Amino acid sequence: MKAASTTPWEGREGRPARRPSGDGAWDGPADGSWDGSWVDDVLLAGPGADICLVFDAPVTRAELRRLVRERQDALTAAGLGPGGSAALCLAPSLALVADLLAGWRCGAQVALLDHRLTPYETGRALERLAPQVVVTAEPVGPGPARGFHDQHPVARPRAGGLTARTPHALVQLSSGSTGPSKIIGRTAADLVAEIGRYARMDGVPRAGERIVSMASTVHVLGLVGGLLHSLAAGVRLAFPARTTAEGILATVAAGPEPTTLLGVPFHIELLSWVARPPRLPQLTGMTTGGELVRARVHEAFTERYGVRLGSMYGMTEVGVIATDLFGEHRPEVTPAPGIAVREAGGELLIATERSPYIGFDDPARWSDGWLHTRDGGSVDPGTGRVRVLGRLDSQVSVGGLKVDLTEVEHTLAELPDVAAAVVVFGSSVEAYTVLREPGARARVEAGLAERLAPYKRPRLLHVVDELPRTATGKLVRDLAVLRAAAATADSPPDRPPAG
C-alpha cells in the first residue's frame, strides 16, 4: 500500500476530492454545511486496487465503492433521501459497513443498533428514534463468537417514521452499563474532526499498516478508531472470523503488515490466557478502550507478547479523549489533539460546543460548553496528563466511611482464584464474581480479609457462572441485572465473607 502523501485522491465523478489539511485534519465544505459528499472525500477516496477491508476475503476500495452505490440505491428505493433517517440493525459485517456509508452518502441520519439487543430492546429503541427506514438481516444464531457475519440486508420503510430532527449524521445509544441508555448524536463535522485527531496522534496505525479489530463497529472505538480512521488513513482493517484467542492470533498471522490489535480489556484477558502464543513478528502492539486494564492483566499481556499495550480513554459522546498508546505513562493518559480536559470537584470535564444528547437536557451532564463525564480524575498542571480514577458513582459511604467500589472491585479481581468481578452498592457493598475453580470461594474470602479493611469488604459475595456484559463488552453494574444473574446461578447460598 502506498504512503498517504503519494496517494492520488479520487473524488466523486466530475469534481476533485478535498485533501487533508496540513495538520492532518480534513477541510470541510466552504459554506460550512455537510452533505453526503464527505463520504467520498474522506472515506472512499484512494486507488481502487488498494485493499481496505478484510473479512472472509479482501475488499478493494473499488469494490467497496460499488457496494456502497448499490446499497444507496436500495435505501433510496425504500424512501431514504437527504435529511432522512435510517436505523441499521445489522451484525458486524461488510453489509453493515456498506449500508452505513450508503446512508451517509444519501445525506441521511443513520442510527446504529447493536444486533445483540433483544427484539424488545430493539423495538423500544426504534420507538424512541422513529427512523423512516430500517435495515435488517437474518438473525445471528448461537454459536462460537465471531468477528463478523455474512449478512444479506433488507431496507424497509417504517410506518410513522420521521425525517431527521437534528443535524447529526450518526446516532448511537450509550452503553447502558450503569442505567438506561441515552441517545447520542454526532454530526459529520464531529466525525471528520475526530478522524483528524487520529491523524495527529503518535502511535496510531498509518498507511501501509494493518489493524485487526475485535471492537464492534456499532460502537465508537471500533467505528471511528477502527473503521473510519482506517478508511481515511489507508490502513488495512481486518476482522477475525472467530474472536477466540486462536482466531485473533490467526488473523494477525495472515498478513505481513505491521499490525495493531484493537479491542477492549476482555480481549486482553482472553489473549493473556494463551500460555505460549505463536511468534508474530508483524504484531507491533495493542490498543484498548473501555474500562481500566488491571495491572496484573497488563503485565501478563506485555510479558507474553513482548509488544506495547496502549490505552485509550473516550466516550460515545465525543469519541477519543486521551491516550497512552505506548504504555509509557500508565495510569495517566495525554489529551488527544484539540481536546480540552479539566477537573472540577474531582470530576473530569470535556470542552464541547453543544450537548451531544438528543431529547435529553440535563445541566448536570452538559452546561456552559463542558460535558460532565461522571468520571473521577485529575489533570496534572505541569504535564497536562489526565489520571482517570473511575466512575464517581463508585464512591459510597459505609458507616460514615468512604468506600471506593472501584478499589474493592480491582482488589477482588486481582485475586488468583477470580476470573472476573463486579462490585456494586445496594443496601450494602455486594460483590459478583466468577471463580476459576468451584471450590475457591473460601480462598477468595481469605484474600479479601487480608487485603481490605473490614468496612470495605463486600457484605455479600455472589458466585455466578458468567457476569452480564453490555453489547460493547463492558461489565454491567445495574444491581437488578446482577441480582437476576445471581438468582439463576448454580452456586452455594450467598453469605457475608469471613472476617
Distances (CA, A) of 490 to 463, 483, 485: 8, 13, 10
Helix (H, G, I), strand (E, B) or coil at 226: helix
Average pLDDT over residues 461-487: 85
How many residues are recorded in the chain? 499
Residues above pLDDT 70, as percent of the chain: 88
- pLDDT band at residue 33 using 50, 70 and 90 as cut-offs: very low
Taking 70 as the threshold, does the pLDDT of residue 32 lie above it? no
pTM of the model: 0.80
Average pLDDT over residues 243-256: 96
Taking 60 as the threshold, does the pLDDT of residue 359 lie above it? yes
Q: What is the pLDDT of residues 120-153, one digit of tens each?
A: 888 989 999 999 999 999 988 777 788 999 999 9
164-178, 312-326, 457-471, 482-496: which has the minimum mean pLDDT?
A: 482-496
- pLDDT band at residue 14 using 50, 70 and 90 as cut-offs: very low
Q: Cell 450537548 maps to which residue?
A: 355
Structural domains in the chain plus CATH codes: 1-395 (3.40.50.12780), 399-488 (3.30.300.30)
Taking 80 as the threshold, does the pLDDT of residue 18 lie above it? no
Mean pLDDT is highest, among 20-24, 156-160, 172-176, for 156-160
Here the cell at position 90 is: 445489522
Q: Which residue has the higher pLDDT, 29 or 36?
A: 36
- pLDDT of the residue at 314: 94
Q: Is 272 left (phi over 0), alpha (psi -120 to 50) or beta?
A: alpha
Buried (b) or exposed (e) across 274-294, using 16+ Cβ within 10 A? Answer: beebeeeeebbbbbbbbbbbb
87-96, 183-192, 429-438, 466-475: which has the minimum mean pLDDT?
A: 466-475
Asked if 497 and 457 count as a contact pair (C-beta separation under 8 A), the reply is yes
Q: What is the pLDDT of residues 369-407, one digit of tens each?
A: 999 998 889 999 999 999 998 777 777 777 667 787 888
Asked if 210 and 235 count as a contact pair (C-beta separation under 8 A), the reply is yes
Asked if 186 and 205 count as a contact pair (C-beta separation under 8 A), the reply is no
Distances (CA, A) of 242 to 98, 203, 206, 474, 489: 21, 26, 25, 19, 27
Asked if 239 and 217 count as a contact pair (C-beta separation under 8 A), the reply is no
Asked if 423 and 408 count as a contact pair (C-beta separation under 8 A), the reply is yes
Taking 60 as the threshold, does the pLDDT of residue 494 lie above it? no
DSSP secondary-structure letter at 431?
E
- pLDDT of the residue at 177: 46
Q: Which residue has the higher pLDDT, 490 or 479?
A: 479
Here the cell at position 31 is: 459554506
Q: What is the pLDDT of residues 41-85, one digit of tens each?
A: 999 999 999 999 999 999 999 999 999 999 999 999 999 999 999
Distances (CA, A) of 143 to 242, 290, 411, 491: 10, 25, 33, 25
- pLDDT of the residue at 119: 87
> Smallest Cα–Cα separation from 416: which of 385, 388, 395, 447?
447
Taking 50 as the threshold, does the pLDDT of residue 300 lie above it? yes
Report the chain's mean pLDDT, rounded to a whole number.
87
Sheet holding 154-157, edge to edge: 154-157, 133-136, 85-89, 109-112, 170-173, 183-186
- pLDDT band at residue 11 using 50, 70 and 90 as cut-offs: very low
Taking 80 as the threshold, does the pLDDT of residue 181 lie above it? no
- pLDDT band at residue 493 using 50, 70 and 90 as cut-offs: very low
Q: What is the pLDDT of residues 329-353, one digit of tens each?
A: 988 999 999 999 999 999 999 999 9
- pLDDT of the residue at 394: 75
- pLDDT of the residue at 173: 87
- Write the CB contacts of 152 (distance below 8 Å, at least 6 apart in sequence): 95, 137, 138
Q: Which residue has the higher pLDDT, 475 or 106?
A: 106
What is the spatial distance between Cα 170 and Cα 188, in angstroms, rounded to a whole number? 7
Taking 80 as the threshold, does the pLDDT of residue 492 lie above it? no
DSSP string covering 28-82: --TTS---THHIIIIII-S-TTSEEEESSSEEEHHHHHHHHHHHHHHHHHTT--T
- pLDDT band at residue 176 using 50, 70 and 90 as cut-offs: low
- pLDDT of the residue at 97: 98
Q: Which residue has the higher pLDDT, 370 or 492?
A: 370
